[in-house]
Amino acid sequence: MADQPNQGPSRRQFLTSAAALGAGAGISAVAGSASAATPDPLITEVQDWASGLGDGVDASPYGVPIQFEGDVIRRNVEWLTADTISSINFTPIHALDGTITPQGCAFERHHSGAIELKKEDYRLMINGLVDTPLVFSYEDLERFPRQNHTYFLECAANTGMEWAGAQLNGAQFTHGMIHNMEYSGVTLRTLLEEAGLDAAGDLKDKWVYVEGADASSNGRSIPMEKALDDCLIAFKANGEALRMEHGYPVRLVVPGWEGNMWVKWIRRIEVMDGPVESREETSKYTDVLEDGTARKWTWVMDAKSIVTSPSPQAPIKHGHGPLVITGLAWSGHGKITRVDVSKDGGKTWETARLGKEGEDKALTRFYLDTEWNGEEMFLQSRAIDETGYVQPTKTQLREVRGLNSIYHNNCIQTWWVKADGEAENVEVS
Amino acid sequence: MSKFLKLTAAALVLATPALAEKHGLGRTAMPEEIAAWDKDVSPDGTGLPVGSGNALDGEEIFADNCAICHGDFAEGVDNWPKLAGGDGTLADEDPLKTVGSYWPYLSTSFDYINRSMPFGSAQTLEPDDVYAIVAYILYSNDLVDEEFELSNETFLDVEMPNAGGFITDDRAETEYSQWRAEPCMENCKESVEITMRASVLDVTPEEEGAEAVVDDVVEEAAAEPAPEPEPVVAALDAELVAQGEKVFKKCKSCHQVGDNAKRKTGPVLNGVFGADIAASEGFKYSKVMAGYGGVWDEATLTTFLTSPRKMMKGTKMSFAGLKKDEDILAMIEYLKSVSQ
């Protein structure tokens, strides 16, 4: 297995599963064996939907998920913040599969609320150390050459509540400040070049300050090197316009770097010779170490992974036999190359199968196709990225950073799966 | 700057702009436009407007505009940020990070208050007010005395206690280099014991609550294609109510309406139209509002919403007022609709 991590389930695994199924026949927990005596009325009786008619087209000109999926929604943890206007909620990652996050359930984080800004009222200014300060309309932006890229956005505070110990019981709450979308937009480089960078002189020590149009004026300083590398001025996500809560009509995309820098409703880009040291890059999004000094400019989101199912909100309900363990992995340093899963709290590890090859700074789905017969599990996953970085344990992180950090907690998570299939967030030795 | 990219890649990234082709899109930004938006202030004071203020002036301005969330002494109300105190706590178990104990640059306070505060009325303060508020916050942190005149000229005289408390991201040296070894696959530890359980702490939101929300969401969504007409009493102009609901977004950070409305920094506004002024039970009104008398009708609401502090000097409501007459009309119609 270990030498072919990206292949499908091995023949040996297939055989063990089949053997287990055979051996399990007659045990009520094995699917199919218990109700074999009575025919299933869902099959033998003509159901309403097989006889009558369903909705016509246009019943819902813009579709929403069917009512049975009504619990796949963003959720908020009320005690975290003073007010929902300056707050955050969480993506239901425990209930999703694949890698793309639908916009409607992708987490939100606002500092002064989500604003309604029309395309016609949208302006983007580039000023500062540029040859010609420019103003673009939304229409102007759509006339530049466009690109498509899929990237994850993770809030630096994702898993931040778990520093001191296991707190929140659900992957949505511990790891749901993340989403992954395909963006369409113009590179930031294209716009900076349109304004001209000769005036900036040597670009090596230059910065770009970006600012949003909402009342929080959320602004961050980005080194020129990153600005010219892969940042995008995005106006579409997953093929459609950005949602209001994600910065409609235009947001900044800063691949692999903390979500706060992905300024929504971006209205201004200023080329500067130093960082502004704004509130969001000094008093927030800095990391206090054990001795009281703090790290700043910790922009990159390090490699991380999480088992999304089974998990506390997605317990095993199907009884014994085949079990799919699945989860997500990502790295701000590039591609995920491998994910290992442990069922015994880190004593032994198996290499999981990647849904498809890891993509640069995007979510990767992993699967461990396995067998479960009611034994207790301490489920963990650890991601490895293309730089060879291995996702650390919480103990390793605490040894370097102490206990007072909030942001950038990329530790290995443990779910305690019990004999009844329920799971709980725990910390283990 | 090259620590996040390999040197050669960095050189490439930074090399080509001079050769870039232009598309001739956009237009030149006018100086007035740049002045209107480019307000950021850097640590060396670049960007500071001309002005001044001291803590004595600041105390009153702070009480009017900031204290409702941050407390009279900048000590913070509920979950809102504490701005003062915490000196020497950064290495403690639960550090208190305030302007005084943590913020490395004074420019950050000025910049943030100037552009982003007060919450719900950003960019309504004059530069002198901002200088005075910043002076008051410094005073609350025992960093200046009450007569200290903070201005664009004295700005750099203030020393921030934690100015030297930050280091640049050092994960490459302290973490990445240790965590790149081939990981253990078997017999990685002797025993695994549970050391902490989330269910013991019990702070996870209940799913039941979430399901109630689901129903609302689904109902709303289902209603979207052919919305049922809102049950509006004849006397109300439905369009105006809808417009007012939009304007009400400005108020939502402090005021709630509807069935599940709870008191926040401001009172619940159900039934406010036609009610006595300062009649919301349990809300601690300012002296001026508590003793004002009369009822909230079209006349009093119009005056109040135009300029709350002009009508009631000393009101706790830190909102500058609605500028457009049509917004005021719509808001009153909306308040009527939540008062039936």
**A14-18, A292-296, A425-429, B279-283: the lowest-pLDDT one:** A14-18
A29 assigned to some structural domain: no
For the segment B160-195, what is each residue's pLDDT rounded down to a tens digit? 999 999 999 999 999 999 999 999 999 999 999 999
pLDDT at A9 over 70: no
A288 and A308 both lie in a single domain: no
Q: In A, which residues are within 8 Å of B6 by CB distance?
A: none
A318 and A411 both lie in a single domain: yes
Q: Which one of A254, A278, A295 terminates a domain?
A: A295
Q: What is the pLDDT at residue B217?
A: 38
Is any Cβ of chain A less than 8 angstroms from the Cβ of B219?
A: no
Query: Tokens 């929504």 belong to which residue?
Result: A264
Q: Do B111 and A278 touch (CB under 8 A)?
A: yes
Q: Which of B276, B280, B277, B289 minimizes the C-alpha distance to B317?
A: B289
Q: Do B5 and A229 touch (CB under 8 A)?
A: yes
Q: What is the pLDDT at residue B249?
A: 77
Q: What is the pLDDT at residue B207?
A: 64
Q: What is the pLDDT at residue B17?
A: 52
Is any Cβ of chain B less than 8 angstroms from the Cβ of A143?
A: yes
Dihedral through CA A386, CA A302, CA A328, CA A397, nearest 10? 120
A83 assigned to some structural domain: no
CB pairs under 8 A between A and B: 315
pLDDT at B280 over 50: yes
**A60-74, A279-293, B17-31, B36-50: the lowest-pLDDT one:** B17-31
Cα of B294 to nearest chain A Cα, Å: 31
Is any Cβ of chain B less than 8 angstroms from the Cβ of A263?
A: no
Q: In A, which residues are within 8 Å of B211 by CB distance?
A: 70-71
A251 and A387 both lie in a single domain: no
Q: Do B176 and A389 touch (CB under 8 A)?
A: yes
Find the mean pLDDT for residues A51-73.
95
For the segment B68-88, what is each residue's pLDDT rounded down to a tens digit? 899 988 988 888 899 999 999
Find the mean pLDDT for residues B251-263.
80
For the segment A300-358, what is each residue's pLDDT rounded down to a tens digit? 999 999 999 999 999 999 999 999 999 999 999 999 999 999 999 999 999 999 999 99
A216 and A316 both lie in a single domain: no
Q: Do B204 and A173 touch (CB under 8 A)?
A: yes
Q: Do B210 and A73 touch (CB under 8 A)?
A: yes
In chain A, the residue whose alpha carbon lies closest to the alpha carbon of B15 is: A203
Is any Cβ of chain A less than 8 angstroms from the Cβ of B8?
A: no
pLDDT at B40 over 50: yes
For the segment A32-43, what is each residue's pLDDT rounded down to a tens digit? 456 678 999 999
DSSP letters spanning B319-336: ------HHHHHHHHHHHH
CB A132 within 8 A of CB A210: no
**Exposed e or buried b for every residue in B18-50, given b needs 16+ CB within 10 A?**
eeeeeeebbeebeeeebeebbbbbbbeeebbee
pLDDT at B4 over 90: no
Strand residues in B111-265 grouped as ranges (E): 149-151, 166-168, 194-197
A310 and A284 both lie in a single domain: no
Q: Which of A305, A319, A393 minimizes the C-alpha distance to A355?
A: A305
Q: What is the pLDDT at residue A79?
A: 85
How many whole angstroms separate alpha carbon B14 and alpha carbon B149?
Answer: 44
Find the mean pLDDT for residues B134-161.
95
**Closest residue to A294, CB basis, from B165, B189, B249:** B165
Q: What is the pLDDT at residue A281?
A: 96
Q: Does domain B238-337 have CATH number 1.10.760.10?
A: yes
Residue range of the domain that includes A419: 304-426
Q: Please work out, in degrees rounded to the nearest 5, the angle formed at the alpha carbon of residue A253 by the alpha carbons of A225 and A393.
A: 85
**Closest residue to B108, CB basis, from A128, A277, A312:** A277
Find the mean pLDDT for residues A148-157.
98
User: pLDDT grade, residue A12 (50/70/90)?
Assistant: very low
Q: Do A400 and B22 touch (CB under 8 A)?
A: no
pLDDT, averaged across chain B: 84
| CATH value at residue A348 | 2.60.40.650
Cα of A77 to nearest chain B Cα, Å: 6
A252 and A104 both lie in a single domain: yes
Helix (H), strand (E) counts: chain A: 8, 24
Q: Which one of A295, A330, A365 terminates a domain?
A: A295
Is any Cβ of chain A less than 8 angstroms from the Cβ of B220?
A: no
Is any Cβ of chain B less than 8 angstroms from the Cβ of A121?
A: no
**Closest residue to A71, CB basis, from B10, B93, B214:** B214
**Closest residue to B25, CB basis, from A71, A136, A428:** A136
Q: What percent of chain A clears pLDDT 90, i.e. is strictly above it?
A: 87
pLDDT at B250 over 50: yes
Residue A50 exposed, middle or buried by CB count within 10 Å (0-12, 13-18, 19+): exposed
| ipTM for the predicted complex | 0.88
Three-state SS sequence of A115-158: CCCCHHHCEEEEEECCCCCEEEEHHHHCCCCCEEEEEEEECCCC
CB A301 within 8 A of CB A256: yes
For the segment A295-307, what is each residue's pLDDT rounded down to a tens digit? 999 999 999 999 9
Q: What is the pLDDT at residue A28?
A: 44
Same fold across B43-168 and B238-337: yes
Interface of B with A in 106-135 (CB under 8 A): 107-108, 111-112, 115-116, 119-120, 122-123
Domain B43-168: CATH architecture, name and number where available: Orthogonal Bundle (1.10)
User: pLDDT grade, residue B222 (50/70/90)?
Assistant: very low
A390 assigned to some structural domain: yes
Q: What is the pLDDT at residue A129?
A: 98
A261 and A334 both lie in a single domain: no
Q: In A, which residues are within 8 Å of B42 by CB distance?
A: 272, 274-277
A324 and A395 both lie in a single domain: yes
pLDDT, averaged across chain A: 92
Interface of B with A in 199-218 (CB under 8 A): 199, 201, 203-205, 207, 210-211, 213-215, 217-218
Is any Cβ of chain A less than 8 angstroms from the Cβ of B262?
A: no
pLDDT at A17 over 60: no
List, in order, residues 6 or more apart from B303 with CB less than 8 Å away: B310, B311
A64 assigned to some structural domain: no
Domain ranges of chain B: 43-168, 238-337
Cα of A88 to nearest chain B Cα, Å: 14
Is any Cβ of chain B less than 8 angstroms from the Cβ of A412?
A: no
Q: In B, which residues are within 8 Å of A270 by CB distance?
A: 38, 40
pLDDT at B8 over 60: no
A289 and A310 both lie in a single domain: no
A167 and A97 both lie in a single domain: yes
Is any Cβ of chain A less than 8 angstroms from the Cβ of B10?
A: yes
Q: In B, which residues are within 8 Å of A312 by CB distance?
A: 198, 204
Is any Cβ of chain A less than 8 angstroms from the Cβ of B19?
A: no
Number of domains in chain A: 2
Cα of A342 to nearest chain B Cα, Å: 9
User: pLDDT grade, residue A90 (50/70/90)?
Assistant: very high
Q: Which one of A295, A314, A334 terminates a domain?
A: A295
Q: What is the pLDDT at residue A144?
A: 98
Q: Do A279 and B108 touch (CB under 8 A)?
A: yes
Is any Cβ of chain B less than 8 angstroms from the Cβ of A4?
A: no
Q: In A, which residues are within 8 Å of B213 by CB distance?
A: 73
A277 and A168 both lie in a single domain: yes
Cα of B267 to nearest chain A Cα, Å: 15
Q: Do A424 and B198 touch (CB under 8 A)?
A: yes
Q: In A, which residues are within 8 Å of B180 by CB distance?
A: 387-390
Cα of B222 to nearest chain A Cα, Å: 8
A121 assigned to some structural domain: yes
**Closest residue to B4, CB basis, from A166, A190, A226:** A226
pLDDT at A2 over 60: no
Is any Cβ of chain B less than 8 angstroms from the Cβ of A134?
A: yes
A28 assigned to some structural domain: no
How many whole angstroms separate alpha carbon B282 and alpha carbon B223?
Answer: 37
A193 and A321 both lie in a single domain: no
Q: Do A73 and B213 touch (CB under 8 A)?
A: yes
Find the mean pLDDT for residues B50-58.
96
Q: What is the pLDDT at residue B289?
A: 86
**Closest residue to B192, CB basis, from A132, A425, A429:** A429
A146 assigned to some structural domain: yes
Q: In B, which residues are within 8 Å of A219 by CB distance?
A: 40, 115
**Closest residue to A292, CB basis, from B10, B91, B252:** B91
For the segment A210-232, what is each residue's pLDDT rounded down to a tens digit? 999 999 988 999 999 999 999 99
Q: What is the pLDDT at residue B281?
A: 81
Mutate to test the interface with A, among B8, B115, B208 (most CBs of A within 10 A): B115
Q: What is the pLDDT at residue B107?
A: 97
Q: Do A290 and B91 touch (CB under 8 A)?
A: yes
Q: What is the pLDDT at residue B248?
A: 86
Q: Which of A176-180, B199-203, B310-314 has the highest mean pLDDT?
A: A176-180
For the segment A405-429, what is each residue's pLDDT rounded down to a tens digit? 899 999 999 999 999 999 999 999 9
User: pLDDT grade, residue A21 (50/70/90)?
Assistant: very low
A200 assigned to some structural domain: yes
List, in order, residues 6 or more apart from A12 with CB less than 8 Å away: none
Q: Which of A78, A67, A74 minimizes the C-alpha distance to A93?
A: A74
Q: What is the pLDDT at residue B236?
A: 84
How many whole angstroms separate alpha carbon B224 and alpha carbon B242?
Answer: 15
DSSP letters spanning A65-82: --GGGTT---EE-GGGSS
